[in-house]
A and B are shown apart, each in its own frame.
Chain A
Amino acid sequence: MWLTSKIKQVLMVMKPGVVTLNYPFEKRPVPENFRGMPYWDHEKCIGCGGCANHCPARTILVRDLCQEIRLMVYDASRCTYCGRCADVCPEKAITMTKQFETATGDKQDLTESMELFMLTCQRCGRCYDMENKNMIDRMDLLGFRYDNIEARSLIRKTTDHFNVEMLKKTADYKRPEKLGE
């Protein structure tokens, strides 16, 4: 009786064959919508700090080094890979990559830091990004009030010294796009 059951078992096992994945040597593609290590695109980032506000594990640190440079530090060691930062990013600067092979002997390997150039708000003294997409710049373009003439020397307003070319240059100013896009 026990012999027949053993033979049955052997036959059952013969049917699927070898199922074991030969993992570190042969890799299997990860499933779709898999969230691995997040990647920051420093060309797109405007330094708003929304990701730092929404991070449940508080892994993203925003620190202003000086008036012009903002430093953002990400520490993956306690990241839960929830993807909230990628969801809230207004510029889509954060993408969740499919990298999960992040085992390491040193915790320092899991950090990402980013330096951003910022402008200073003349009213509150804090950093903000300079770009024409910026709401403050757009208001300036429409002729709203301005606080510091020197910082925004080219005021879009009809004056004696109005330079159309200069206006065009700065109005169409675009950040250099990332290679391969």
Chain B
Amino acid sequence: MFTNLSKKIFGKSLWLYHCNTGACNGCDIEILNVLTPYYDVERFGMKLVASPRHADVMLLSGAVTRPTLPLVKKAYDALPNPKLVFGIGSCATGGGCWFDSYNVTGGATGVVPVNYYIPGCPPRPEAIIYGVALALGLVEKNVAPIELKQMEFPIDAYERNKAWEERNVIYKMLDN
């Protein structure tokens, strides 16, 4: 639904507001790397803006710490509708190594509604472009939940038990 929405409403260009919510600067440097001539994200008409009021998209990096929590909420409210939120890095998606720490709210999910997750510590600049392209509908989603099962039933244990029963018959029904 969000892909359709983003195609319709801001198909032309996205203006990004970058919000550091207690990240270690790894993800921030990768976001800046995306804007360099090598991974030129301005091909898609994207631009980093200073004010959330000018922006369509909020890039969240970092597990939302307690001091930044009200500021993040304010910045999110300042974004004009319709808005998208990207959680960039492991910290923003799930809270990182400190997801259950006392001064961390455990990722951006609990604070603002996050539309797209880009995991990685830090994510490669290509991964960030991939996430943006996913929002624009240029590429398909690449991941799905994986369920693995050992289909092999422990037959040999069953056969061992059966063989033991056959070999060690203590009581036998006698034919009349």
A105 close to B116 (CB less than 8 A): yes
Q: Which A residues lie within 8 Å of B144 (CB)? A: 109
- Does B156 sit at the interface, judged by CB under 8 A? yes
> Nearest Cβ in chain B — how far from A119, in angstroms?
7
> Nearest Cβ in chain A — how far from B150, in angstroms?
5
- Does B43 sit at the interface, judged by CB under 8 A? yes
B43 close to A20 (CB less than 8 A): yes
Q: Which A residues lie within 8 Å of B52 (CB)? A: none
Which chain A residues numbered 91 to 117 have a C-beta less than 8 Å away from chain B? 99-105, 107-117
Q: How far is the CA of A117 from the CA of B107 in the complex (A)?
A: 34
> Nearest Cβ in chain A — how far from B63, in angstroms?
9
Map CB proximity to A onto B1-14 as digits: 1 under 8 Å, 0 otherwise: 01000000000000
> Nearest Cβ in chain A — how far from B148, in angstroms?
4
- Does B61 sit at the interface, judged by CB under 8 A? no
Question: Given A57-B97, A130-B154, are A23 and B39 also a contact pair (CB < 8 Å)?
Answer: yes
Q: Which A residues lie within 8 Å of B148 (CB)? A: 40, 42, 112-115
- Does B82 sit at the interface, judged by CB under 8 A? no
Q: How far is the CA of A23 from the CA of B34 in the complex (A)?
A: 11
Which chain B residues numbered 41 to 96 have a C-beta less than 8 Å away from chain A? 43, 90-91, 93-96
B164 close to A153 (CB less than 8 A): yes
Residue of A nearest to B138 (CB): A24
Q: How far is the CA of A109 from the CA of B118 in the complex (A)?
A: 12
Q: How far is the CA of A20 from the CA of B124 in the complex (A)?
A: 16
Q: Which B residues lie within 8 Å of A116 (CB)? A: 150
B152 close to A78 (CB less than 8 A): no
- Does A154 sit at the interface, judged by CB under 8 A? yes
Question: Given A105-B2, A112-B146, are A79 and B126 also a contact pair (CB < 8 Å)?
Answer: no
Which chain B residues numbered 122 to 144 have a C-beta less than 8 Å away from chain A? 123-124, 126-131, 133-134, 138-139, 141-144
A111 close to B94 (CB less than 8 A): no
- Does A122 sit at the interface, judged by CB under 8 A? no
- Does A21 sit at the interface, judged by CB under 8 A? yes
- Does A51 sit at the interface, judged by CB under 8 A? no
Q: Which A residues lie within 8 Å of B154 (CB)? A: 68, 117, 119, 130
- Does A32 sit at the interface, judged by CB under 8 A? no
- Does B163 sit at the interface, judged by CB under 8 A? yes
Q: Closest 10 interchain pairs by CB?
A: A153-B164, A78-B94, A103-B131, A77-B94, A42-B148, A80-B121, A114-B148, A24-B133, A112-B146, A20-B40
Q: Report 21 cross-chain contacts, Cβ distance below 8 Å, ordered by A residue.
A: A23-B129, A42-B149, A57-B90, A57-B97, A77-B119, A78-B90, A78-B94, A78-B97, A100-B127, A102-B120, A105-B141, A107-B109, A108-B145, A109-B143, A112-B145, A117-B154, A119-B154, A153-B161, A153-B165, A163-B163, A173-B156
Q: Beyond the given A78-B91, A111-B146, could you list 10 further A-B residue pairs with CB under 8 A, ordered by the A residue number?
A: A20-B38, A42-B150, A79-B119, A99-B142, A103-B131, A108-B145, A112-B148, A113-B146, A113-B147, A153-B160
